[in-house]
Structure 1
Amino acid sequence: MLKRLWLWFGRLLGKFLLLLIVIGVGGWAIGAAYYGWKFSGPVASEEQIPADEASLTQAIIEDAVRVVEQHRDNTRVLRDAHAKAHGCLKAQVSVLSNLSSDLQHGVFSEPGKTWQAWVRLSNGNAYPQFDRARDARGMAIKLLDVPGEKLSKNPQHASEQDFVMFNHPTFFVRDVAEYKSNFSAQAEGKKVLAFFPSWDPRSWEIRHLIIALKTLSPAPESPIASTYNSIAPFKLGPLNIKYRVIPAPENCPYYELPEQNQDLPNFLRNALYQQLSLDRAPACFALQVQRQDPAYYMPIEDPSVEWDESISAFETVANIQLPAQDFDSREQNLFCDNLSFNPWHSLPEHQPIGGINRLRKAVYEAISAYRHDRNHATDNSGSSN
């Protein structure tokens, strides 16, 4: 009797598991077919600006101010994102000497040119936390002494060209409207509502939740070991492109970083200090661009979609070197805290495009001004300190 009961229960459990597998495979197939249809070209090669974007942007600025006030470090107002820096480093960005002529625009217009720069490496969270916590990681590059009129009219940034990237190829919202809903929920401490704003399943953003979870990745062994992406698109002269920075150790003398103690709260800074300051070993990257092909699904207005590398491969336009240096001093760390990075500190040839970039312009400028005013600080971003 007991044996028959167990056999019956086993058959029932087996059928139930088989049903779950069928439902799972079926759901995956339906989802793949749906997104294959939804994410098919062609797409626009020009920006498309929603009518309510300006009002949504103002509301996001107000939420961002709330966030920086929530995360104040004693009396200092921190960034609303990427608050914790691993270091600000002197760098050289050298344009390829054999760069293709159709990529020679803006700061890449002179093959072989080397720009002096600052590179800031950071964690993504708005509150400084232990490096071993799952988080996004960021790289911001500021080229110095760049001639020409800039998109930003702030005289403090008149000689700068900035690139802002982080270590995932896609963003977890599609546009400014979704960003407003998501960011507002997080600012109010209601993280569940960021991706599930109502009981209506049609409003759920499962795909974007998955992107967000992938973005919060384990820490690398060093900030130098990560690939960083612009996520949103930019102009490069007449082209629409995305940027990324990849490690290029082959361009530097061989170096192997000693194993780091990841229980230390700032082990990523320690890794930079070990390589650049103690072992005096430089680090190398390559700056690359990926061209939009509007015949395929490479949208300008939706940064949650990765542009297919099999259709448009990345092309190296410049090499980046972080030379051996001493960077971890109180004075330089304060200097680093007062730097402002904004993709709109830019030549017109590198104009940011797409809704998230338009949002960045307003939010970055507002929060930077608010932060420097509250901290009674001078923005040193043009300094060569």
Structure 2
Amino acid sequence: MLHRLWLWFGRWLGKLLLLLLVVGLSAWGIGTAYYSWKFSGPVSSEEQIPPGEAALTQGIIEDAIRVVEQHRDNTRVLRDAHAKAHGCVRAHVTVLSDLDSSLRHGVFSEPGKTWQAWVRLSNGNAYPQFDRARDARGMALKLLDVPGEKLLNSPAHTSEQDFVMFNHPAFFVRDVAEYKSNFAAQAEGKKALAFFPDWDPRNWEIRHLIIALKTLAPAPHSPVATTYNSIAPFKLGPHNIKYRVIPTPESCPGYALPTPNKDLPNFLRSALYQQLSLDRTPACFALQIQRQNPSYYMPIEDPSVEWDESIAPFETVAKIELPAQDFDSREQNLFCDNLSFNPWHSLPEHRPIGGINRLRKAVYGAVRVYRQERNRQSAAK
């Protein structure tokens, strides 16, 4: 009797697993076919601003300030994202001497030119947490003494060109409307509603949830050992492009970082300090661009879509070196905290485009002003 019961249960369980496998494969096939149809070209090579974007942006600014206040330190107001820095370090950015003439625009207009720069390496969360926590990782690059009129009329940033990146090639929202819904849910502590705003499955953002989970990756051994992406598109003269920074250790003296102790809360800062300050070994990267081909599905207004590298390969335009240096001092850490990075600190030749970049223009500026004013008030007490 018991033997027959186990056989029946085994056959039932086998059929159930087979059914689940068939349903899963069918769903995967249907999803692949759907997105292959949905994400097919051609696309516009111009920005397309939806109605109501300005009102949504104002709401996001209010939510961002709420997040800043929720995560403030005892004495300082932190950034609304990428609050924890691993360090701000000096860098040299050298344009390729043989750069293709079609890419010689803005800060890349003079082959062989070397720019002095600051690089800020960070975690993505709005609240400082242990480095071993799954998180986005960011790189912000600020070129100094860049002549020419900038897009923002800000006296403090008239000679700067900024590039802002993080370590995933796609963003987890498609536009400002979705960002408003997603960010509001997170600001209210309702993270489950960020991708499932209601009970209607048609409004669920499962693909974007998968992107977010991939973005929240385990920490690398060092902040100089991962790739950073612009995600959103930009101009490069007449071209629409995305850019990224990739490690090129072969361009620097050979170096093997000691195995980090990932139980330490700040092991990424320690790894950076070990390489640049103790072992006096530089870190090297390549700055690359990817040109939009509007005949294929490479949209400007949807940064959740990764541009196909097999159709539009990345091209190196400059080399970045972080030389050996001392950077982990109280004075420099405070300087780092006060540095402001914004992709709109930019020459017109590098103008940010697309909805997420239009959102950044408003939100970054408003949060920076609020944060720095609150910190000045705290310092004066």
Which letter maps to 1:264? L
Q: Residue in 1 aligned with 2:248? A: 248
In 2: Cα distance, 1:346 partner to 1:285 partner: 21
Q: Does 1:236 align with 2:218?
A: no
What RMSD over aligned residues (CA atoms) do the two structures have, in Å? 0.6
- The Cα of 1:193 is off from its aligned counterpart by 0.4
- The one-letter code matched in structure 1 to 2:150 is K
Shift of 1:3: 1.6
| Cα distance in 1 for residues equivalent to 2:129 and 2:7 | 52
Matched, 1:14 2:18: no
Paired with 1:212 and 1:170, the residues of 2 have a C-alpha distance of: 9
- The residue that corresponds to 2:201 in the other structure is 201
1:316 maps onto 2:316 in alignment: yes
Task: State how far apart, in whole Å, the 1-side matches of 2:13 and 2:130 are.
Answer: 44
For structure 1, list consecutive stretches of 5 or more residues without a partner in the other structure: 378-385
The alpha-carbon deviation at position 144 of structure 1 amounts to: 0.2
2:47 counterpart SS class: coil
- Over 6 Å off, 4+ runs: none
Aligned-residue offset at 1:94: 0.1
Q: What secondary structure is seen at the aligned counterpart in 1 of 2:139?
A: strand
Residue number in structure 1 paired with 2:341: 341
Q: Which residue of 2 aligns with 1:182?
A: 182
Q: Distance in 2 between matches of 1:285 and 1:152?
A: 28
Partner of 2:48: 48
TM-score of the two chains, using structure 1 as the length reference: 0.97
* 1:108-123 equivalent positions in 2, closer than 5 A: 108-123=108-123
Query: How big is each residue's C-alpha offset from its partner over 1:223-277, in whole Å with a ceiling of 9 and x where there is no partner?
Result: 0001000000000000000000000111111011111111110000000000000
Task: State the distance in 2 between where 1:358 and 1:322 align.
Answer: 30
> Which residue in the other structure is 2:135 paired with?
135
Structure 1 residue 68: deviation in Å?
0.2
Give the share of equivalent positions with the same residue, in percent.
Answer: 82
TM-score (norm 2): 0.98
Q: How many angstroms does 1:50 deviate by?
A: 0.6
Structure 1 position 7, deviation (Å):
1.1
Count of paired positions: 377
The AA in structure 2 aligned to 1:317 is V
Mapped partners of 1:358, 1:341: distance in 2: 15
The CA distance in 1 between the partners of 2:355 and 2:157, in whole Å, is: 23
CA distance in 1, matches of 2:341, 2:207: 29
What residue identity is the alignment partner of 2:126? A
Q: Which runs of 5+ in 2 are unaligned?
A: none
1:68 aligns with 2:68: yes
Cα deviation per residue 1:327-365 (whole Å; 9 max; x = unaligned)? 000000000000000000000000000000000000000
SS of residue matched to 1:147: coil
2:247 partner letter? P
Equivalent position of 1:284 in the other structure: 284
Greater CA drift, 8-17 or 174-183: 8-17
Q: CA deviation at 1:75?
A: 2.0
CA distance in 1, matches of 2:57, 2:344: 16
TM-aligned CA deviation for residue 311 of structure 1? 0.3
Distance 1:248 1:310 in 2: 21
Counterpart of 2:359, as a letter, is L
Query: How far, CA to CA, are the matches of 2:36 and 2:290 in structure 1?
Result: 22
- Structure 2 residue identity aligned to 1:70: Q
Residue 262 (structure 2) aligns with: 262
Give me the whole-angstrom Cα distance separating, in 2, the residues matched to 1:12 and 1:118.
63
Per the alignment, residue 156 of structure 2 pairs with 156
Q: Deviations over 1:37-90 (max 9, x none)?
A: 000000000000011000000000000000000000002100000000000000
Aligned to 2:353: 353
Deviation, structure 1 residue 200: 0.4
1:225 is paired with a residue of what secondary structure?
coil
| Structure 1 residue aligned with 2:307 | 307
**Distance of 1:263 and 1:235 partners within structure 2:** 42
Q: Which residue type is aligned with residue 124 of structure 1?
A: G
CA distance in 1, matches of 2:265, 2:228: 22
1:148 and 1:361 map into 2 onto residues whose CA distance is: 19
**Partner of residue 381, structure 1:** none
* SS of residue matched to 1:171: coil
